[in-house]
Structure 1
């Protein structure tokens, strides 16, 4: 696969995209790519990303409505748990907020489970919000360098000069900062630490990882745990998928010379400004997010979630996995996720590539 910047790929016309998806998405009964096959039956088991939970709820509901004899299960146990269960053969598909990690042997383990390289395609794009609980402060601006200092513990008070310099005219209290991070192995953590590593001008000293790299702040399990901890703690700040931020305040991050609030549109702009990872095997569509982009309106503190599957299953399971995942990346599926989770639909060119990969799933 050639290294490609997604935004440079001309988006196909609506008619061409519809035709491409109709051809490539197995079980697609109309131009949206949503499966309307009524002859499918059985149960699918999935697990993984808690950030994808709201989107998965929409996908499961939509697919099961079209296919009433199918049950699709999903346990939002976290990206690490999803990868582990998938590689152990305990589930049929997995969701993760980061691609399989070759350095940790995740792709090799998946290949052993599947008997061939696992398929991985993006299915969910969402901003990661810096959520905070600070009385009297409803607007907050932070650069990646300042965020790094907050989460590594070198910036300890809300009225620290580094924060004050980015928030002229805002009355910042002298309260202690209480940073909250994920306690479980998390793709959201890997995306967050990747952003800190690449955008903080060297302030963050640790490599991107699903596991929080240092002893600092409070640890909370899952996206819901982080949200609950920030809500409960005065002076708290944490990171979580924006779709689950609720009524918590959200900081804007510095991009170039501007500060950008988290949004699905901003996350999509960051993705479109990023190249495809051409070191991956065929069947892997992985994006190398440009965390240091200065693209106007882009929000590079974001996650591109993936769904993993094997290229082959027994006949009945192959039809189910292909049908469900075709629905997930279809126009209809992406629209349903956007409505339910506030995510950004996959760009047309990326959607078409993902559908073509899923279409290769076959019976053993």
Structure 2
């Protein structure tokens, strides 16, 4: 497998086959991350030792769980500890008995190789942990002892249950992701730029839609100066996701109307739900690939920050292969700006610290699109990984800066 070519994805539903009690059985295989169903499946229960389970999972064998649900969760945690356990340093074969071992030398991470190796390790971790499999009935109930009622969480990810859908199987790890996403959706994410904490300043992300937990880029949109000399402003929010930036833009002085676009059905539903709940009738959500028709005074875009190929359908909010969305926004911006209008490009420089893109490349792309930089507002992110020295990409995360580039046509 090439370093920059993650495992190809497969359709979200296919068929899992196994033998149980001497009978050949099958069920719908579900994988939101696009993983293929395991070719070999064994029946597993509370008697399965963690070391044996780890060996089987590393070999690509699916463990279809028939025991207590809570014990399956404990097994998954045990597998995660084994996957995450640091490898023991290899002993120098030239070392002779009685001689002192040579002092280890610290090697600085090499980018972008370190980034690609990190992605490989994360993909392998996901494959191993994805081997613990959970059965579901047609109504998304889980036929296991002490299993939670996850019907609503599953419906939010898979759509409404249908009797004709039959039984299905999915990884326990993915199910835990559904449950976590359901809680985020139920509680919502507080957005200070929308007002004081309360029920009317929260964004409720749907499953598969990027959650606005990093607030620095939202604050930049709230703080950037609105173009002068214009009234009754129209704004575009390109790739709206949850709709959070459209809402913040609509609160800016002089902005009378906002058109928010996306092409992901989940994002469109999420944005419409949030904006209706927050009470923004002046925001229209449209399905579009980047720009809607017409011109606007302010056009905001927060594209994925890393120019790499998504390893699964859920990674499209993080990875922008070949910088396609970024370049699409830049190259189409001038044609959609009103006179004196501005494009607000929100971009982290982490790709530069990882060696995936240079500042010179970005400036050249802006220039080639017929644009000029009016100003740039910077913010230092404050997420936990920025201060986690054990993180494989700590050097890049610690140096990261998020910027709002104010762009105008030349």
Higher RCO, Cα 8 Å, sep 6+: 1
What TM-score, normalized to structure 1? 0.28
Q: Which is higher, the Rg of structure 1 or of structure 2?
A: 2
What TM-score, normalized to structure 2? 0.26
